[in-house]
Structure 1
Amino acid sequence: MDRTVRWGIIATGGIAATFTADLQELPGAEVVAVASRALAPAKEFAGRFGIPRAYGSWDELAADEDVDVVYVATPHSAHRAAAGLCLEAGRGVLCEKAFTLNAREAGELVGLARSRGSFLMEAMWMYCNPLVRRLVELVRDGAIGEIRTVQADFGLEGPFDAGHRLRDPAQGGGALLDLGVYPVSFAQLLLGEPDRVAAHALLSPEGVDLNTGMLLGWDSGASALLSCSVTADTPRTAAVTGTAGRIEFPPGFFYPERFVLHRAGREPEEFTLGQAGSGLHGMQYEAAEVMRALRAGETESPLVPLDGTLAVMRTLDAVRDRIGVRYPVDLS
């Protein structure tokens, strides 16, 4: 149960570097290979992190029998291809979010993994954070009663020029898939897939969303007011309010180090991570969950279930439908 888990990394950008740095601090984790679409960046990345093998193609890494699981850190427009290649080769996969460009692609990856008995998980690190897990426990145990509202936002000031991937429909550009996936995932972690979706957005000349507001509704009477932006630096906070109290997350709700529980007639209760100054970035929790699942012979994580990932992708599709954002892949 404590065997070494051998990792491969696809892509060499900032998120890959952050994940690899955290991964190398985990006992029992070994990064054995990295791949890019060109050899030079793969070699540079390998040298920076002391990784023994560098590949100039994804196919070479997928074929490496020494790799147990691959972290796919490409832009989300390449997730379907990169993750599918690794699953076909028998590798487990941890795939960054947004999981794919649309729910159809997500369903294809999930179907492939399940048909082959291969491990697959969305890299929704928020779900694996100990404080977010504690939030789920408190809500489940009735600490705030029945949920009535969820509020969450994630916005960056920008601006991003017309040549940036965030402005390119072919690359899944816009605020929704890069940033909006967090507020939507936060709400659905607590309430499941919504019964109704409404949305409004400011679109770029290229046809991607620059600023999006979402109102999700459930038959229980609960609602979620969510927003994302690549034109405004929002607070990046979240709150869950129930019939008996509320829980508030300060800025950075998707990688929290603290939250506060408010209940009528009681002093506020603060919950903290208690690991300040560790030097890690918070991505070690999802990596540890992947390793736990692999050692246990599981093909899905109960913390980040594939059915939940599919439900989030359906909601993101519904939001895009409401605001009129189409990607070329939607037509294929």
Structure 2
Amino acid sequence: MTTQRPHADVPGMKLPAPRTPDPAGAPGLRWGLLGAGWIASQMAFSLSGTRQQVVAVGSRDAARARAFVEEHAPGARPHGSYSSLVADPEVDVVYIASPHSEHLEHALLAIAAGKHVLVEKPMTPTADEARQVVAAAREAGVFCMEALWTRFLPHIDVLRQVLEAGLLGEVSTVLADHCVPLWPDGPERLASPDLAGGAILDLGIYPLSFASLALGGLTAATGLGTLTGRGVDRRVAFVAQGPTGAVASLATDMSVSSPTTASVNGTWARLELETMFYMPTTMHLVGTDGVVLDTMVGDPIEQHRGLRHEATEVALLITAGERESPLMPLDESVRTLEVMDGLLSSLR
């Protein structure tokens, strides 16, 4: 066990600079957006000003695809079906931006067409479906990654460096929450069991993935929660453990708001991530005596424009001939869904 040391005795107690690649310098790919909803619009916006180009947009409704192109991706080709989109010879990579209940079908469709895929989080509603996507991508030799954009943000790269350097000492606990009032008056996809609704797949994946990164993986998890009258999870509080024995305390709820903060707590120091920890935000390195040792200030206007960092990762790796990301490994995406499967099964 690492012994506690005063921060004054620990050399270099400063946050390192982020190593995040400049999105403007990444090699350009031609993107097809499968889905014409809100998250697709945010991706289109985030790619503006980079070398990435949205060349096609697909929807089951041709008029919706045309309206999306006109508003969010001028010059792109609208497709009135997903099969037409993935068959477009000008598309290098398909961003799966449909509801996650349809990710398996749409990812397999794009992979069968020989396209690289970036699949919006969660990769699929269940681990079994995710294994099918991963197996298909590996068999086809195409790039595949879950679009958990937090992993590619500058402050998370700094967190990763801090953990690699052992700057916090022995990591013992991780705390994170993500609660947003999206039910009962929010989108139907969150309320409906047929659309893989519920809090944990849509919101809880952020604290769970954060814990997986900070703990070095997940070996066990258990939790308590409440289902809605339609049988989807309204709120869940859960604990997870990593391979070293360190633990995480996590919570998600789709009926209330919460601070949505996070911390990684070690024997020498801790990292505190301010509100909306999963977005570009401010992070503090804090000594065991509560003194702030260093601060990384987040960009308050960045928000979902940070999606361009995951697109940069995709572009760099595909250009280099890689087929998955070391920052968001496919096996970790499957493992996170295995944990969520277990939590949801125990609630139901």
TM-score by length of 2: 0.88
Residues 1:81 and 2:81 aligned together: no
- Among 330, 333, 338, the alignment partner of 1:309 is 333
Counterparts of 1:279 and 1:165 in 2: how far apart (Å)? 23
- Among 232, 242, 247, the alignment partner of 2:256 is 232
Counterparts of 2:220 and 2:82 in 1: how far apart (Å)? 39
Q: Secondary structure at the match of 2:305?
A: coil
8 A Cα contact 2:220 2:339, kept in partner: no
- Among 295, 305, 321, the alignment partner of 1:270 is 295
- Among 34, 39, 42, the alignment partner of 2:65 is 42
- Give CA deviations for 1:102-148 in whole Å, capped at 9, x if unaligned: 00000000000001100101101000001101101101101111111
- Give CA deviations for 1:238-276 in whole Å, capped at 9, x if unaligned: 011011111001101001321000124664210134x55
8 A Cα contact 1:156 1:229, kept in partner: yes
Partner of 2:15: none
Distance change (3 Å), C-alpha of 1:156 and 1:72? same
Partner of 2:178: 154
**C-alpha RMSD of matched pairs (Å):** 1.8
8 A Cα contact 2:215 2:247, kept in partner: no
8 A Cα contact 1:70 1:86, kept in partner: yes
Distance change (3 Å), C-alpha of 1:166 and 1:112? same
Q: Name the amino acid aligned to 2:207.
A: P
Residues 1:295 and 2:315 aligned together: no
Partner of 1:327: none
Structure 1: 4+ residue segments shifted above 4 A: 275-280
Q: Name the amino acid aligned to 1:269.
A: D
Q: 1:295 offset after TM fit, Å?
A: 1.0
8 A Cα contact 1:195 1:217, kept in partner: yes
Partner of 2:34: 10
Q: 1:196 offset after TM fit, Å?
A: 2.2
Q: 1:3 offset after TM fit, Å?
A: 4.9
Partner of 1:127: 151
- Give CA deviations for 1:73-117 in whole Å, capped at 9, x if unaligned: 111001101111001100011110011010000000000000110
Show the 5 A alignment for 1:188-267.
188-264=212-288, 267=292
Q: 1:221 offset after TM fit, Å?
A: 2.5
TM-score by length of 1: 0.93
Q: Name the amino acid aligned to 1:271.
A: M
User: Tell me, which stretches of 5 or more residues in structure 2 are unaligned?
Assistant: 1-24
8 A Cα contact 1:210 1:230, kept in partner: yes
Show the 5 A alignment for 1:82-97.
82-97=106-121
Q: Name the amino acid aligned to 1:191.
A: L
8 A Cα contact 2:183 2:191, kept in partner: no
Q: Name the amino acid aligned to 1:25.
A: G
